[in-house]
Amino acid sequence: MAGTNALSDTPLLPEASTLAERVDTLFFTLTGLDALMVLVLSGLIIGFAVYYRRGARVNRTTNVPETKTEIIWSLGLLTIFLDIFVWAAHLYVEEASPPKNALEIHAIGKQWMWKFQHRNGQREINELHVPLGVPVKVVLATQDVIHSFFVPAFRSKQDLVPGRYRTVWFTPSRIGRYHLFCAEYCGLDHSRMRGQVIVMEPAEYEAWLAGESGAESLPAQGEKLFSSLGCIICHGAGSKVAAPSLTGIFGKPVPLTGGQTVVADETYIRDSILTPEKQVVAGYEPIMPSFRGRVDESDLTKLIAYIKSLSREDARP
Amino acid sequence: MTTVGISLRKHYLNHDYSFRSWLTTIDHKRIAWLYLVSITAFFFFGGAAATLIRLELATPAADVVETETYNRLFSLHGIAMVWFFLVPSIPATLGNFLIPLMIGARDVAFPRLNLLSWYLYVIGGSFTLAMAITGGVDTGWTFYTPFSSLFANGQVVLAVVGVIIVGFSSILTGLNFIVTVHKMRAPGLHWTRLPLFVWANYATAIIMVLATPVLAITLLLIALERIFGIGIFDPKVGGDPVLFQHLFWFYSHPAVYIMILPGMGVVSEIITCFARKHIFGYDGMAFALLAIALIGFLVWGHHLFVAGESIYAGVIFSLLSFMVAVPSGIKVFNWAATLYKGSVSFETPMLYALGFVGLFTIGGLTGITVAATAVDVHLHDTYFVIAHFHYIMVGGMVMAYFGGLHFWWPKMTGRMYPDVWGRIAAITIFIGFNLTFFPQFVLGYLGMPRRYHTYPDEFQLLNVLSSAGAPVLALGYLLPLFYLLYSLRWGPVAGPNPWEAKGLEWQTPSPPPEHNFDHLPVVTEEPYAYGLPKRDSDAARG
Amino acid sequence: MAYRSVIPTPPGAEARPAPQFDSLRQQYEADTLGMWIFLTSEILFFGGLFMTYIIYWAAYPEAFEAASSRLDLLLGGLNTAILLTSSLTMTLADDAVLPRNRKALIGWLAVTALLGAVFLAIKGIEYSREFREHLAPVFGRPFEFPEPHAEQARLFFSFYFALTGLHALHLFIGIMVVLAMLMLAIRGAPRLEAKVIIAGLYWHLVDLIWVFVFPLLYLAARHG
């Protein structure tokens, strides 16, 4: 990987996301403090051990008040630790939620490869193209065991847990190619479940996105599935079956039988397709069959994209 | 007292040499030896796995073993080292041998239960060996679901059964120690006069009793899931794989304190003896042991920052993880302060103890680094974490174990080993250890994940450095095997107190008689009364 | 507690403390503390399982309630009464120890063991019904439960068998212990009182565990 491989250019790890620099500052501050503490402590230990070695003629009477000294250094440590904690927690919480306008990409991890699907249907395997300077939200799903999406250059990591959607987001800040690793042991070829994240200028990214794949957009593919799987029979306009309408439901609260209300997010839609009896909409009978075994993660991604698209007037890719 | 030739005086080793007397012994001192031999065997077993791992990782490609084998090797390394070496190490060997002696008792409270504990260890170990021989597991020592419950095709059930059984060994040992310390102290031995080694094992025993049962039920659920398919952690039937992680770490985090507190106890005994000075801040040291044990139960979620735990839980666990470092910091500063105005000599045990303090400090401080949530997102599941815990468990605990072995060897065997070789080994271990593990901090920051059989080329240099350190470390570990065994036959006879140490264990012959003390000791002075002027606070306390 | 050995002991087996102890009192205190610590570890063992069950109950309340209503409340309630009574008889056995009431001691120990055995028998009856009705997802047997709760009901019944199975195992061990005490009481043994009382502690724990198991499993559907 010569030439454009950013890793071979820099001795240390490149800072390729807006988060990376902030994490590095914290990390190197911590490391510096650690080094200082180790030096001070080893200095004291070696110093005392040598100065007060057996046979050395030095003054050994001492009056150091024990408890007071302990309290002083405990409070000192506590103060330093609390400051670091607050700094780290603040950064962590701030960076936990993606911005609303983040570019969404769907990732499916499976033993032992990464599959990515962009909004317009463009698919990649083990490679992820992303635009520079744009917040990117990756929706993570796994088909089998726990994996972990790890891009060291972004200082980003998030586990993929079966049965749920997780998200990770970043804003790439440096053109280049960066390692993508699976960071949670997932079986035989865990160490080969690797890929590359390719950060491009936004214009180039758009060009690449519209490229020769000829694939339809995710919502369009989802619409096809919606029909072929028979969802349209009950949920389509003009259906004689009492089934909730799906137009505009994404992101809105849904009242359930039993009195609770839940927001119709990706997980809700996924659960409704796989285990429809779990959360039945108020006023409806639990007659929807489960589609477990008839849809895989990829299909779910498309169906969800389609249902999301029913919320918006403008079909934004 | 005059040092009578060992062969004339009857003591716990020579009163009966038969195999049967060893296998049916209820003497805590002999049981300590039974454990010592068994855990040494597992140490070399786990160490062999580590050797192969480092050999493989010297090159980025998979050229020494196949991937299936590699995955089984690192799993075996973790299982053997954690449950069959580190957890029992100091408590079951040195603790068993010394606690009754240090408190002036004839044995532990339940000697037969003690022997049962060892047999449970052996049975659990047999399951583990059986697992290794019939194909091993590739789940890692952490057995995460759903991989371990639904996907792994190895000997998962054998492995978890072995661990469950050895867990019961742990629980019974802890139970024994708690009751022994509560009920069998000699007259005058108040809690505030207990050696810190006893306090440390007591705190460890509490963790053993409270945490290990949770491990047992968690692993039992995995076994049930594999045998009966009950689906508790299977998302397809509504199970939650992350719940396993919570249950597992609820035990396994306190377990890492099981794997360090006894070492801290040993270090306090050694530093005071070889600095000829009483421990700085006895109360603080005892309190810190208990505080670490308690707070250690509250931090398990720091293993789940990116695993699916809410950010609020993450923040709370992070805060608690910072808190648990404070008592550890107290201990480290107090050890340094003990040297201040002491009279320091550098025999082998002291070299190990000083090495412990430095390496444990590095390990502990890097623990702070990973406790910082935002940083852990980057470092989790990388070689940084591996370096962090090896600094504590190997640079810390194993060095303390070796230090303790060297300190109490004359008491246990009546022989002294050549101190020159002891020091050579200690220094070799220190150098080899740092060579092996320091590069891993850098590797982790650069992003090399854990449990990787093959890796990108740019990580090779650091891996080579790490693998170069491994043979040095291995040499350091092998040396004591030779000179300690040599000393059994040819070492000079040691008297009851060759180090001129304080503590009741030194008031009885080396090796001790079967019943420990010819005359029941009565304790009248503070621990570590090494004769240097006392502190104001001591005088005030009286 | 005033301590003397009052049940006749065989000749030559006078009540002497074990060699590691200085006095019978020290031994008794150590034994009792040891048993309490062991019981604590048992509580943590079952506690882990309880926690897991409760978490899933909270996640799938309707399914768990539907599944719970398939348990035999009558037999379960009967068993609860039996076990609670057995704790009473165990306490009565304890009480018979010091006033040298050998007959009462033997009698109450026997009743306790008998009640435990009856519990296990009734449990067996429940299990066989559940097997017949295909509610037992164990040993590869088919599991049938009406939709829409089939999957989570399977989870419920897995917990049911795990919890009651582990409890039954502990109860079986308890019965063996009580029978052992019975033998000792009949033949006479040193320090019998201490042993009976400590055995009683274990019995009470087994009862206590059931006191939690029963409402968690059987009464899940009947609240509010």
Write out pLDDT tens, residues B267-289.
999 999 999 999 999 999 999 99
Q: What is the pLDDT of residue B77?
A: 97
Q: What number is the average pLDDT over the span B160-169?
A: 97
* pLDDT band with cut points at 50, 70 and 90 for residue B532: low
Whole-structure pTM value:
0.90
Whether B26 contacts chain C with CB within 8 A: no
Is residue B511 reached through a cis peptide bond, with omega within 30 degrees of 0 on the bond before it?
Answer: yes
The candidate with the shortest Cα–Cα distance to B321, out of B304, B306, B339, is B304
- Residues from chain C that touch B238, judged by Cβ atoms under 8 A, are 56, 59-60, 151-152, 155
pLDDT given for residue C192 in this prediction:
86
Residues in contact with B421: Cβ distance below 8 Å, sequence separation at least 6, in sequence order = B479, B483
pLDDT band per the 50, 70, 90 thresholds, residue A214:
low
A164 touches chain C (CB under 8 A): no
Q: What pLDDT score does A312 carry? A: 57
Say whether residue B442 is in contact with chain A using an 8 A CB cutoff: no
Q: What mean pLDDT do residues B19-41 have?
A: 96
Which residues of chain B neighbour C30 with C-beta distances below 8 Å? 109-110, 179-180, 182-184
**Band of the pLDDT at C189, cuts 50, 70, 90?**
confident
Assign residue B146 the CATH number of its domain.
1.20.210.10
The candidate with the shortest Cα–Cα distance to B52, out of B70, B68, B66, is B70
Contact flag A23-B374 (C-beta cutoff 8 Å): yes
Residues A202 and A118 reside in one and the same domain: yes
Q: What integer pLDDT is reported at residue C3 of this predicted model?
A: 45
**Confidence at residue A308, expressed as pLDDT on a 0 to 100 scale:** 85
Q: Nearest chain B Cα to A66, which residue?
A: B281
Question: For residue B4, what pLDDT is reported?
Answer: 52
CB contacts, 8 Å: C62 with chain A? 258
Tell me which residue of C196, C1, C172, C214 sits closest to C91, measured CA to CA. C196
- Cα A50 to Cα A27: distance, rounded to the nearest angstrom: 34
pLDDT in tens, B490-499: 999 999 999 9
Cβ atoms of A192 and B454 within 8 Å: the answer is yes
Please check whether residues A77 and A107 belong to one and the same domain.
Answer: no
Clarify whether residues A277 and A296 are in a common domain. yes
Q: What is the pLDDT of residue B519?
A: 83
- pLDDT bracket for residue A6 (50, 70, 90): very low
Residues A204 and A247 in one domain: no
pLDDT at A213: 57
Question: Are B325 and B371 a contacting pair, CB within 8 Å?
Answer: yes
Contacts C60 to A, Cβ<8 Å: 278
The residue out of A150, A174, A209 marking a domain boundary is A209
Chain A CA closest to residue C61: A278
Residues 6+ apart with CB under 8 A from C215: none
Q: What is the dihedral of CA B17, B19, B20, B23, to 10 degrees?
A: 110
Residue A5 confidence (pLDDT): 40
Chain C CA closest to residue B517: C20
**CATH class of the domain comprising C24-218:** mainly alpha
pLDDT of residue C9: 54
Chain A CB contacts of B311 under 8 Å are: 92-93, 96
- Asked whether residue B93 carries a pLDDT value surpassing 70, the answer given is yes
Structure tokens at C198: 């400590």
Pairs across B and C, CB distance < 8 A:
112
Mutate to test the interface with C, among B218, B232, B234 (most CBs of C within 10 A): B232
A205 and A112 both lie in a single domain: yes
CB contact under 8 A, B237 and C154: yes
Mean pLDDT over the full length of chain C: 89
CA A118 to chain CA centroid, Å, is 16
Mean pLDDT of C152-172: 93
Chains in contact with C, where contact requires at least 3 CB pairs less than 8 Å apart: A, B
> What is the percent of chain A with per-residue pLDDT over 70, rounded to a whole number?
93
State both tokens at C108: 């109450």
B275–A85 CB contact, under 8 Å: no
| Co-location of A203 and A223 in the same domain | no
Nearest to B344 among A7, A30, A53 (CB): A53
Query: Other CB atoms closer than 10 Å to residue B512's CB: what's the count?
Result: 24
Indicate whether B185 pLDDT > 90.
Answer: yes
Do the Cβ atoms of B512 and B30 come closer than 8 Å?
no
User: Is B153 within the bounds of a domain?
Assistant: yes
- C-alpha triplet B199, B205, B207: angle, nearest 5°: 110
**In a domain? residue A9:** no
HEC sequence for C28-60 = HHHHHHHHHHHHHHHHHHHHHHHHHHHHHHHHC
- Chains A and B form CB pairs within 8 A to the count of 261
Give me the amino acid identity at B90: I
**Is the confidence at residue A238, as pLDDT, over 80?**
no
Give the DSSP letter string of A233-300.
HHHSTT-SS-----TT-TTSEEEBTTS-EEE--HHHHHHHHH-TTSSPBTTS-S-PPP-BTTB-HHHH
CB contact A293 to B (< 8 Å): no
Interchain contact, A81 vs B537, CB within 8 Å: no
CA A134 to chain CA mean position, Å:
16
| Pair A64, B398: CB distance under 8 Å | no
Q: Which residues of A touch B68 (CB under 8 A)?
A: 188
The answer, yes or no, to whether residue B38 has pLDDT greater than 50, is yes
The band of A280, judged by pLDDT with boundaries at 50, 70 and 90, is confident
Q: In total, how many domains does chain A have? A: 3
Q: Residues C10-24: pLDDT tens digits? A: 554 567 889 999 888
CA atoms within 13 A on the CB side of C89: 19
- How close does chain B come to A170, measured CA to CA in Å? 13
Nearest residue on chain C to B104, judged by CA atoms?
A: C20
Q: Give the mean pLDDT of B495-521.
A: 91
Smallest CA–CA distance from A276 into chain C, residue: C148
Give tens-digit pLDDT for C51-92.
999 999 998 898 899 999 999 999 999 999 999 999 999 999
Query: Is A3 inside a domain boundary?
Result: no
Are the C-beta atoms of residues B109 and C34 closer than 8 Å to each other?
yes
List strands edge to edge, sheet with A194-200.
A127-131, A194-200, A176-182, A147-151, A156-160
Question: A: neighbours with 3+ CB pairs under 8 Å?
Answer: B, C
In this structure, the strands spanning A194-200 and A176-182 are antiparallel
Q: Cα-flanking dihedrals φ and ψ of residue C182, to 5°?
A: -60, -50
Is A245 found in the same domain as A191? Answer: no
HSE-CB of B320 using CA atoms within 13 angstroms: 20
Dist. CA B283–CA B296, nearest whole Å: 20
pLDDT of residue C220: 86
Q: Which residues of C touch B (CB under 8 A)?
A: 19-21, 26, 29-30, 33-34, 37-38, 40-42, 44-49, 51-52, 55-56, 59-60, 137-140, 151-152, 154-155, 158-159, 162
Q: Which amino acid is at B211?
A: A
**A45: chain B residues, CB-CB within 8 Å:** 335-336, 339, 354, 357-358
Domain boundaries, chain C: 24-218
CA-wise closest residue to C7 among C179, C182, C177 = C182
Residue A132 CB neighbour total at 10 angstroms: 18
Q: How many CB atoms lie within 10 A of CB B39?
A: 23
Beta bridge partners of A17: A172
Closest B-chain CA to C157: B230
Tokens representing C91 are: 């306490």
Q: Which residue in B217, B224, B240, B515 has the most chain C C-beta atoms within 10 A of its own C-beta, making it the best mutation to test that interface?
A: B217
pLDDT at A284: 87
pLDDT at B102: 95
Contact of A34 with chain B, judged by CB distance below 8 Å, is answered with yes
Please report residues of C whose CB lies closer than 8 A to that of B210: 40-41, 44
User: B231 vs C52: CB contact, 8 Å cut-off?
Assistant: no
Interface of C with A in 122-151 (CB under 8 A): 147-149, 151
Do B371 and B320 touch, CB atoms closer than 8 A? Answer: no
List chain B residues with CB under 8 Å of A162: 146, 235-236, 241
Q: Are A284 and A242 in contact (CB under 8 A)?
A: yes
Considering the domain boundaries, does residue B131 fall inside one?
yes
Say whether C42 and B213 touch across the interface (CB within 8 A). Answer: yes
pLDDT at B534: 44
Mean pLDDT score of chain A: 87
Instruction: Judge whether B371 and B318 are in contact, CB under 8 Å.
Output: yes
pLDDT band at C95 (very low <50, low <70, confident <90, very high): confident
Inter-residue contact B147 to B75 (CB < 8 Å): no
Chain B nearest C-alpha distance from C131 (Å): 14
Contact call for C149 and A286, based on CB within 8 A: no
Residues of B with CB below 8 A from C51's CB? 247
pLDDT at B107: 95
Domain encompassing residue A290: 218-309
Which of A 106-165 lie inside 8 A of B, CB atoms? 111, 144-146, 148, 150, 152-153, 155-159, 161-164
Which structural domain range is residue B213 located in?
27-537
Whether A199 is covered by a domain: the verdict is yes
C-alpha torsion B19→B24→B26→B28, nearest 10: 40
Supply the mean pLDDT for chain B. Answer: 93
Same domain, A117 and A87: no
How far is it, in rounded angstroms, from Cα A79 to Cα A149?
A: 34
Q: What is the pLDDT of residue C13?
A: 52
How far are the Cα atoms of B402, B410, B428 from residue B423, in angstroms, in the given order?
Answer: 11, 16, 8
Task: Please tell me the distance in Å from A316's CA to the nearest CA on chain B.
Answer: 30
Spacing of C-alpha B48 from chain mean position: 19
- Model pLDDT, residue C2: 44
Question: What is the DSSP secondary structure assignment for residue B147, as one 8-state letter?
Answer: I
pLDDT digits (tens, 9 = 90+) for C125-149: 999 999 999 888 877 788 888 877 8
- Per cent of chain C over pLDDT 70 is 92
Which of A154, A179, A209 is where one domain is finished?
A209
Contact A192 B449 (CB under 8 A): no
Reported confidence tier of residue A182, pLDDT bands at 50, 70, 90:
very high
- Whether residue B10 lies inside any domain: the answer is no
Q: Which of B510, B408, B486, B505 lies closest to B14, judged by CA?
A: B510
Judge if A110 and A85 occupy the same domain: no
The CATH number of whichever domain residue A189 belongs to comes to: 2.60.40.420
Cβ–Cβ gap B232/C21 under 8 Å = no
Beta carbons of B281 and B196 less than 8 angstroms apart: no
Cβ–Cβ of C155/B243 closer than 8 Å? no
Determine, yes or no, domain membership for A295: yes
- Contact (Cβ atoms closer than 8 angstroms) between residue A55 and residue B403: no
Which positions ≥6 away from C141 have C-beta within 8 Å?
Answer: C131, C134
> Which CA distances in Å does B261 have to B389, C44, C161?
14, 22, 38
Asked if the structure places residue B428 within a domain, the reply is: yes
CA distances from C199 to C83, C158, C176, C177, C180 (A): 16, 31, 10, 7, 10
Cβ-defined contact of B372 to A30 (cutoff 8 Å): yes
Q: How confident is the model at residue B241 (pLDDT cuts 50, 70, 90)?
A: very high
Judgement on whether residues A109 and A197 belong to the same structural domain of the protein: yes
Residue A248 lies in a domain: yes
The crossing angle, in degrees rounded to 10, of helices C24-59 and B196-228 is 40
Say which CATH number the domain at A285 has: 1.10.760.10
As a whole number of angstroms, the distance between CA B402 and CA B480 comes to 9
Whether the CB-CB separation of A261 and A254 falls below 8 Å is answered with yes
A103-110, strands of its sheet edge to edge = A123-125, A113-118, A103-110, A136-142, A166-170
The answer to whether the Cα torsion of C7, C10, C16, C17 is positive or negative is: negative
Q: What is the pLDDT of residues B415-457, one digit of tens each?
A: 999 999 999 999 999 999 999 999 999 999 999 999 999 999 9
pLDDT at B433: 97
pLDDT at B371: 95
Distance from CA of A78 to the nearest CA of B (A): 6
Q: What is the DSSP secondary-structure string of B387-430?
A: HHHHIIIIIIIIHHHHHHHHHHHHHHHSB---HHHHHHHHHHHH
